Structure 1
Amino acid sequence: MNARITTLALLLAALSPCVAMAWDGYDDQSGSSVEIDQGNLVRPGETIELYDYGTSEYRDVQVESVERNGSSVEVEVYDYDSGEYRTLDMED
């Protein structure tokens, strides 16, 4: 009986949705909070999707640079929609 319960528990764990974690931060210029969902490769030259809480919309941006700055990470991006560069301070 215990083997059946263990097998059932493992099967349920494998089929359960994984909890996706996001990377939180804010935009230096606008002061609005932003969120980068898990699965985005935040490396120079990569295009990522972020959620901008100030405008309540998703934005496609190109990562220009990534630099650790104390207890945060500064990510400079080019916003395709606005045509502007943005500096994001992300939690470490």
Structure 2
Amino acid sequence: MSFLKNLSLAAVFTVSGTSYAWDGYDSEASSNIEIESGNLVRPGETIDYYDHGTGDYKSADVESINSYGSTVDVEVYDHDSGEYRTFEMEY
């Protein structure tokens, strides 16, 4: 069931006629982030996001997507820092 839920979330963010940024939070870095509109957020894809903590746009590879109740965790590999980060995205 979780796979279908993740698939439907990916479809909503990629097929939608109107694109918006997807807001989230990186609790490890204590930073709000925004995944920019036009990004295909699914494992294996590269996304661009804005890190409010540093004030910079960054790129990352999506490693996994998991939904838990009203949040979606997006695990990424950050190209700039060389570290894995987990974004808790608003659902």
Q: Same fold (TM over 0.5)?
A: yes
Q: Deviations over 1:10-54 (max 9, x none)?
A: xxxxxxxxx741100011211110001111000000000000000
* TM-score (norm: length of structure 1): 0.77
Asked if 1:37 is matched to 2:36, the reply is: yes
In the TM superposition, structure 1's runs of 4+ consecutive aligned residues that sit over 6 Å from their partners are: none
Q: CA RMSD in A?
A: 1.4
**Unaligned 5+ residue runs, structure 2?**
1-17
Q: Percent identity?
A: 59
* TM-score (norm: length of structure 2): 0.78
**Unaligned 5+ residue runs, structure 1?**
1-18
Aligned positions, number: 75
Asked if 1:51 is matched to 2:53, the reply is: no
1:85 alignment counterpart: 84
Point out the structure with max Rg over C-alpha.
Answer: 1
